Amino acid sequence: MSGIIGRKMATKGILNMNQLLLGSRVFASRTFSSSAKEMTVRDALNSALDEEMSADPKVFVMGEEVGEYQGAYKITKGLLDKYGPDRVLDTPITEAGFTGIGVGAAYHGLKPVIEFMTFNFSMQAIDHIINSAAKSNYMSAGQISVPIVFRGPNGAAAGVGAQHSQCYAAWFAACPGLKVLAPYSSEDARGLLKAAIRDPDPVVFLENELLYGESFPVSAEALDSSFSLPIGKAKIEREGKDVTITAFSKMVGYALQAAEILAKEGISAEVINLRSIRPLDRPTINASVRKTNRLVTLEEGFPQHGVGAEICASVVEESFEYLDAPVERISGADVPMPYAANLERMAVPQVEDIVRAAKRACYRAEKSVPMAAAA
């Protein structure tokens, strides 16, 4: 294995090596002693914020505990010392208040980065996000643009219960006027956050608390301060030919693990890291399904009207003849997140669920399972 990698390193550039490393990487494994630098998602986000604030004096950060406390999850660590209280604002406890203020500041030309301690709390400010930020450019016919970024942890953490665990990707992605991004790796985090801050439209940036501490290799290109990733482009994390698995955020890691297990059983899974929920990279998804003929959608959020539902509809609309099996949709359980660890485990998709669904899509299920059963 290392011999093969060595030969490839000699003949291809750093980016390809990165692709190879990512393609064969196992979730949570740090066994590569490669020459690529490693960076946690937390550091990736922090460095992206730092560089964008340095490049553009109009960018400022606002939220609860972002300043003196260095950030509830330490994403904004060091920024208060470096940029001062004018650009890193600690706020009173009012999501409606600071979101409204951020929108107002954006109306007038500043570029706020609003942090929600978790997107569950963004519900207290949803009117400002949807009715003001998302719709203003349209309603004012382009006179009022809202170059704002709403960021924070989204989805389930570990043992935090119903009001701290919901995934809001589908809710925000339903709304025209918003862009919705969901990074997975550190490179995703850096590139997409920079793109979000530079973008003149309002962007909802969905992070994941459990990924903050994860380390990923980052290329030299990604470390450059001018780096950014295009919004609306998904990434093929692992190429395959038998079944397409779409995922975003933490679930990408799970999908990659499942792909490893499936590979041992002779099923080659293609894992797509969506990166962008709105706009959804329908061309990439459809091209992949036309290649593999089978689709498994994966998300942590609630099943009804979820991201998987939209992907399924898109594929049925555009690539129906290419499907050899019904689309498998894996999502969280249709219940508010329970707290007890055993119940929580059953309420979110696990790697085994992904493997089983992929096998069903390949008509390789061990037992005949009724169509309506949950994974």
Partner 1 sequence: MANLISKSRNLNHFFLSSRFHLLSLLNQRSSRTPSFTTVAGGGFIRPTAKFSGHIFRPERYQSNQAGEQLSTIYYEEDGHHQNTHENQDMDFPGGKVPITPQMKFISESSEKRLPCYRVLDDDGYPIPGSIFEEVSKELAVKMYSSMVTLQTMDTIFYEAQRQGRLSFYLTTAGEEAINIASAAALSLDDFVLPQYREVGVIFWRGYPLQQIANQLFGNKFDYGKGRQMPCHHGSNELNYLTVSSPIATQIPQAAGVAYSLKMDKKEACAVVFLGDGSTSEGDFHAGLNFAAVLDAPVVFICRNNGWAISTPINEQFRSDGIASKGVAYGIRSIRVDGNDALATYSAIRAAREMAIKEQRPIIVEAMTYRVSHHSTSDDSTKYRPVEEIEHWKTAKSPISKFRKYIQRNGWWNDENESEHRGDIRKQVLQAIQAAEKVNKSSLTDLFTDVYDKLPLNLQDQEKSLRDAVKRSPKEYPSDVPI
Q: Which of 4, 28, 31, 176 binds partner 1 (CB under 8 A)?
A: 176
Nearer to partner 1, 38 or 65 (CB): 65
* Closest CB to partner 1 among residues 179, 235: 179
Identify the three-state secondary structure at position 185: coil
Terminal C-alpha separation, the chain:
34
**CB 94, min distance to partner 1, A:** 4
Distance CA 15, CA 13 (A): 6
Among 14, 96, 158, 162, binds partner 1 (CB under 8 A): 96
Q: Binding to partner 1 by residue 279, rule CB under 8 A?
A: yes
Q: Which is nearer to partner 1, 13 or 283 (CB)?
A: 283
- Choose which of 17, 66, 105, 267 interacts with partner 1 (CB under 8 A): 105
Dihedral sign from CA coordinates of 271, 204, 169, 340: positive
Residue 272 Cβ vs partner 1, minimum distance, rounded to whole Å: 18
Q: Judging by beta carbons within 10 Å of its beta carbon (0-12, 13-18, 19+), is residue 143 exposed, middle or buried?
A: exposed
By the 8 A CB rule, do 328 and 360 touch?
yes
Q: From CA 214, how far away is CA 211, in angstroms rounded?
A: 5
Cα angle for residues 16, 19, 23 (degrees, 5° grid) = 145
Nearer to partner 1, 143 or 226 (CB): 143
Q: Is 291 in the site for partner 1 (CB under 8 A)?
A: no
Contact map string, positions 76 to 95, toward partner 1, x by CB under 8 A:
----------x--x-xx-x-
Q: Does 140 bind partner 1 (CB under 8 A)?
A: yes
Among 67, 152, 177, 240, binds partner 1 (CB under 8 A): 177
State which residue, 78 or 104, has the beta carbon closest to partner 1.
Answer: 104
Taking Cα atoms as reference points, which of 259, 329, 274 lies closest to residue 301?
A: 329
Candidates 179, 235, 250, 294: give the one binding partner 1 (CB under 8 A). 179
Assess 37 for contact with partner 1 (CB under 8 A). Answer: no
Instruction: Report how far residue 63's alpha carbon sits from residue 71's, in angstroms, rounded to the nearest whole number.
Output: 9
Other C-beta atoms closer than 10 Å to the C-beta of 40 total 16
Contact stretch for partner 1 (CB under 8 A) within 40-48, 141-149, 181-189, 288-296: 141-149
Instruction: Please report the DSSP string for 132-167 in residue order.
Output: IIIHHHHHTTTSS----EEEEE-S--SS--GGG---
CA angle 91–48–108, rounded 5-degree value: 50
Residue 85 or 336: the one with the smaller Cβ distance to partner 1 is 85
**Which residues participate in catalysis according to the annotation?**
95, 164
Which residues of this protein are in contact with partner 1, per CB under 8 A? 86, 89, 91-92, 94, 96-110, 112, 127-128, 131-132, 136-145, 176-177, 179, 199-201, 232, 279, 282
